[in-house]
Structure 1
């Protein structure tokens, strides 16, 4: 039941699997991946594995959706009978998508638009689009939704580790993570988003295995004894992701793994192959 005719729109950086987008009727707009001589739409006509394979040859740039694409999505939402749209975006501290969606949403005639800056990345942002769609399905009205969603922003955390900081550095997404982080000692940062939606070092570990154990421990500490939703995301590392799933089932028995899969190609541009991440969403 969606009594106020509210649509939910998110960007592809939220890493919501296609099956869940379809299940909840969530609209998604892809980010863009720009190579010197061609352009791709994130997850539409390029895969993360293709991006990884091309990295030794060229590191592409990423860009927000263009105005014409955003306009066309708003047109489709309106044509489908909706009167309002909640736009859920990855952190404005990491992407300009949030700001351009707000500008174009405010100017669009025929739809009341609210843009939620999740101050988060990947499924840490995507969780909110899923939750909003669930609330609407349960009968929540527009005004209550606009109060509920911003209040839940502290409920979502992501923790991830990468094999190398090279791609975060070259993509300008290093945030507050030290660029020269113990390379000689194989010291690995564990990264999250702070309250401003900027990457920062939430922990550190010696080597790959210890960094994986660290994100598992941080997820466990965040979950506590609560019932939580969990997500396991990876960048071309499905076997290690499966090991994390087995470990989280032991460490967080009240956790429900609702999402597991590969991050979007656009996010893969900035993290490179080998990323492993855990998302924790606490229920309010």
Structure 2
């Protein structure tokens, strides 16, 4: 792994949903969460793909778990051995997962590195954008303190919007948060879900039916971006590739203008909690 001059590394957990080519480009390390079936455990995105998780849903909906403390410690050691003594970690929301707390606990016990864990209060690529932003700042040569300060300040500028085909997986996984409209499924009411200021799932809009759900997400994205010219953008899916492409088609002008554009399938762990049929949009506003 190529080193940057000021010897700062970036680590993101696997639910940051950063595509491999961007991990490689920005030299971002990744730490997988775990997917646990009755008879075997798999590392998120390493030993199991989203497709495999969806295909097995009929026989078993697996559980998910945090990276083990020893795996976190081993990752920190690897980064140190690669020549980095300062590390910024982008973690998915503490309101949705114990990952952030686990990272902080292990980091507190490491004495030969400066490690700052950033609670992105977000999920999926909206968390990944924080890691990418930190990596861009490091590439520009900012010192450690400035990178931390700017990255921490950027947390409020990242947003995820998503809709699911069914709320049953969020309910089963205990991740329903403040999402109301559970009883709306009979009326085909589809909530648009985001993370609130506490990093917990909340409903930002309710619409009737799938088509309206997609249109509402696009409308909210355009509202959020307004006249901003400097932004990251992502479209993502969980076992709904064709619909994602249709959504992207309607966002072509924004895709073309994005400083970083990302598309793809969410991580297996996130797929467990949202089920097949997820569509989402990630946005991050940058300083103009």
**TM norm structure 2:** 0.96
Report how many residues are paired. 284
Aligned to 2:179, the other structure's residue is in SS state coil
Gaps of 5+ in 1: none
Distance verdict in 2 for CA 1:250–1:147, change over 3 Å: closer
Report the Cα offset of residue 5 of structure 1: 1.1
Contact 1:2 1:140 in 2 (8 A): no
Report the Cα offset of residue 41 of structure 1: 0.3
Contact 2:88 2:118 in 1 (8 A): yes
Gaps of 5+ in 2: none
Q: 1:145 aligned to 140, 144, 147, which one?
A: 147
- Quote the Cα distance in structure 2 between the aligned partners of 1:6 and 1:106: 18
Contact 1:225 1:254 in 2 (8 A): no
Aligned to 2:118, the other structure's residue is in SS state strand
Q: 2:245 aligned to 230, 242, 245, which one?
A: 242
**TM norm structure 1:** 0.97
Does 2:86 correspond to 1:75? no
Contact 2:19 2:262 in 1 (8 A): yes
**Structure 1 residue aligned with 2:38:** 36
* 1:229-268: CA deviation from partner (whole Å, max 9, x where unpaired): 2100100111111111110124676445610000000000
- Quote the Cα distance in structure 1 between the aligned partners of 2:170 and 2:94: 16
- Quote the Cα distance in structure 1 between the aligned partners of 2:56 and 2:260: 31
Report the Cα offset of residue 180 of structure 1: 2.2
Report the Cα offset of residue 147 of structure 1: 1.1
Q: 1:280 aligned to 256, 261, 283, which one?
A: 283
**Structure 1 residue aligned with 2:158:** 156
Aligned to 1:260, the other structure's residue is in SS state strand
| CA root-mean-square deviation | 1.4
